Amino acid sequence: MTAPAAPTLSPMCLPRAGALTEALLGDGATPSTDAVASARRDLEHGLTDAAGRAGARPCLRVRAFDLVTAAGGGSSAATPFRWTTRTARRRVGLAALRACLSEPGMVPAEAVALVVADPAAPSGPGPAGPGSCSDWLCSLSPPARAAVQAESTAWATAVWTSLEWDRVQPAPVVGAPDRWWDWRGPVRVALQGRADVRVPGPGGAHLVVLDGYPSAASRQALCFGPLVDALRSNGAATPARVVAWWPECGKAWVQQVDGAGLRACAGQVVRVVRLALDATERAG
Q: What residues make contact with other proteins under the rule CB under 8 A?
A: 11-17, 68-69, 72-74, 83-87, 107-110, 140-144, 146-151, 153-154, 157-158, 161, 211-215, 217-218, 248-250
Task: Identify which of 104, 133, 137 has the alpha carbon closest to the alpha carbon of residue 118.
Answer: 137
Smallest distance from other proteins to CB 53, Å: 27
- Longest Cα separation, the chain: 58
Q: Are the beta carbons of 64 and 228 closer than 8 angstroms? A: no
Nearer to other proteins, 85 or 238 (CB): 85
Task: Identify which of 190, 173, 172 has the alpha carbon closest to the alpha carbon of residue 182.
Answer: 190
Nearer to other proteins, 73 or 170 (CB): 73
Smallest distance from other proteins to CB 66, Å: 11
Nearer to other proteins, 200 or 212 (CB): 212
Smallest distance from other proteins to CB 151, Å: 6
Nearer to other proteins, 30 or 132 (CB): 132
Smallest distance from other proteins to CB 45, Å: 29
Cite the DSSP H helix spans in the chain.
16-25, 33-51, 64-71, 85-102, 108-117, 133-138, 142-160, 216-219, 224-233, 259-283
Q: Between vectors from CA 148 to CA 147 and to CA 152, what angle results, nearest 5°?
A: 120
Nearer to other proteins, 43 or 159 (CB): 159
Smallest distance from other proteins to CB 157, Å: 5
Q: Between vectors from CA 99 to CA 242 and to CA 176, what angle results, nearest 5°?
A: 40
